[in-house]
Chain A
Amino acid sequence: MRRVSVRPRSGWQKKVESHGLIWHTVNGQPYWNESACYRFSARQIDEIEAATAELYRISMQGVQHVIDNNLFDQLGIPQFIVPLIVRAWNDEPPALNHGRFDLGYDGVTPPKLFEYNCDTPTCLLETAVVQWDWKEEVFPRADQFNSLHDNLLAKWKDIAPCLNSSVVHFTHFDDAAGEDTLTVTYMRDLASQAGLSSVGILIGDIGWNSTTRRFVDLANHPIDVLFHLYPWEWLINEPFALNIAKSADAMCWIEPAWKMVLSNKAILAVLWELFPNHPNLLPCSFETPSFDHVRKPFLGREGANISVVRNRQTVAETGGGYGEERWVYQALFNLPDFDGNRAVLGSWIVDGQPAGMGIREGDLITGNTARFVPHVLD
């Protein structure tokens, strides 16, 4: 695992924009950073791929453990939604079942799980499309750990016949930067290629028909299938929350409700209890440990409300609006330092199949302005 300098392509901004990545720059600094790339050996990619498959395997066991032992209170998940979670887990409704494991990796020792983002994972377009296009132009003979686009398309085709409608609604928040909008739009393109019709609707525009007990779009048509880039933990804490169960028989949510078990960082402590000393896990607990650690809110996003504690001193922390629920304490992993750049791997999985990787660089804490840097295989 090496970081090497690369000459950015002439007009790279236009090139990434042509693939939909319009949020490539923030405050004058590139979010998409192609002035460098990471190079990996085939052995290292094999190790990352194997770790991703293994983490998926134990994550599924973690969900089963939470359900079998009714640990929902420990995770801060309200009881009214538990039947829906259990039903979705047991019935296995059609889903992409995709997600991104954020990993610490130094190229030598086994990758370590920081968290599993599987409810509303982003960095999707830049991983699946933009970095592949960069590789084809800059390193056309090189390879890349990247089959994300192909895997997602195949999964849409796989589930299309199983859906209760050929029309899928896609919802998101109307974010100013366009990241949520275009991530969902990319999914719409994939669904369309799979033969489905797509209808976009902003999350705030979804309606509830109290007569038919159905969620409806702006044309008042019932929503049969809803892809949502909007977290389950938000959905179940908003005024329409109770209507989710009322319409459950007639509606398919992509992704399903059981995903909220894994997107909750309390699962990290549950997994450590289930699989102590697992080579791909970091020690994690619900209580403040004596060792150097990172404190994370159960439901934090984009690196918000994170504290890094070394020698009982907080050496870095971020603000945000999370943490009212509870915290987990995960052992500090010393990310390799490449001239001040600390890289976190985002290793994707689609229904159990490792599907590619994106890399983001930041400081001690990888927040939502961390730079995306492409990679190739030697």
Chain B
Amino acid sequence: MARQSRRAKLFVLPLTTAISTAMLSCSSNPREWRTNADIKICVDDLDKRVPDGDCSNPGDQHHRWYYINEGGYVPYPGYPVRSGSYQPNSAGGSYGPSAGGSDVATPESTRAGAITRGGFGESAEGHAAFGGVAGE
């Protein structure tokens, strides 16, 4: 029998909670923009953006740098990151702090050296409706 007979469940869903809260609180305002340069931002344990100064304490285990390449999404402070990486692409030297808020148009296809983007996702555009798009 696979059902769980009255056994308590422990749901540990920090990312789900953080992202749903962020999505609910920013329904009319953009919560992120796309950067036109390689940048680094500071994030906390829940992957939410915090002031860069929080990452300047070497002994702090609860904050770390998060690296976003050109074209990536940059969240406003308090909102979770969803693209990028905790490791810089190349030695970290070219990543500057975020300057904040200028919007950058979403490229349909971008090319940076040998890397091309935009080759997946077009099918979903024609099926956007209520609820999810790609589920079944």
B23, B72, B122: the one contacting A238 at CB < 8 Å is B122
Interface residue tally for chain A (C-beta within 8 Å): 93
Q: Could you say which residues of chain B place their CB within 8 Å of the CB of A7?
A: none
Q: Could you say which residues of chain B place their CB within 8 Å of the CB of A210?
A: 114-116
List the one stretch of B53-61, B96-104, B126-134 in contact with chain A: B126-134
Closest to B136 in A: A117
Does B105 sit at the interface, judged by CB under 8 A?
A: no
Does A293 sit at the interface, judged by CB under 8 A?
A: no
Q: Could you say which residues of chain B place their CB within 8 Å of the CB of A354?
A: 2
Task: Tell me the bound Cα distance from A149 to B3 in angstroms.
Answer: 11
Interface residue tally for chain B (C-beta within 8 Å): 55
Q: B116 touching A208 by the CB < 8 A rule? A: yes
Q: Could you say which residues of chain B place their CB within 8 Å of the CB of A141?
A: 6
Contact residues, B66-84 vs A (CB, 8 A): 67-69, 71-73, 82-84
Does A31 sit at the interface, judged by CB under 8 A?
A: yes
Number of A-B contacts (CB under 8 A): 230
For A200-230 the 0/1 string (1 means CB < 8 A from B) is 1111111111111000111111000000011
Q: A189 touching B3 by the CB < 8 A rule? A: no
Answer whether A182 and B19 are a contact pair too, CB < 8 Å, given A209-B115, A216-B115.
yes
Q: B3 touching A369 by the CB < 8 A rule? A: no
Interface residues of B (CB under 8 A from A): 1-6, 8-9, 11-17, 19-20, 23-24, 67-69, 71-73, 82-85, 87-89, 112, 114-124, 126-136
18 A–B contact pairs at CB < 8 A? A20-B20, A23-B131, A120-B135, A147-B3, A179-B131, A180-B135, A181-B19, A204-B118, A204-B121, A205-B71, A207-B117, A209-B115, A211-B114, A217-B83, A219-B69, A219-B87, A229-B135, A377-B3
With A202-B82, A218-B68, A218-B71 already in contact, 7 other A-B pairs whose C-beta atoms are closer than 8 Å: A23-B131, A122-B136, A185-B20, A199-B84, A229-B132, A240-B119, A368-B132
Interface residues of A (CB under 8 A from B): 17-23, 26-27, 31, 45-46, 49, 117, 119-123, 125, 129, 132-133, 136, 141, 143-147, 149-151, 172-173, 175-183, 185-186, 188-189, 192-193, 198-212, 216-221, 229-231, 234-235, 237-240, 243, 263, 301-302, 320-321, 353-356, 368-369, 377
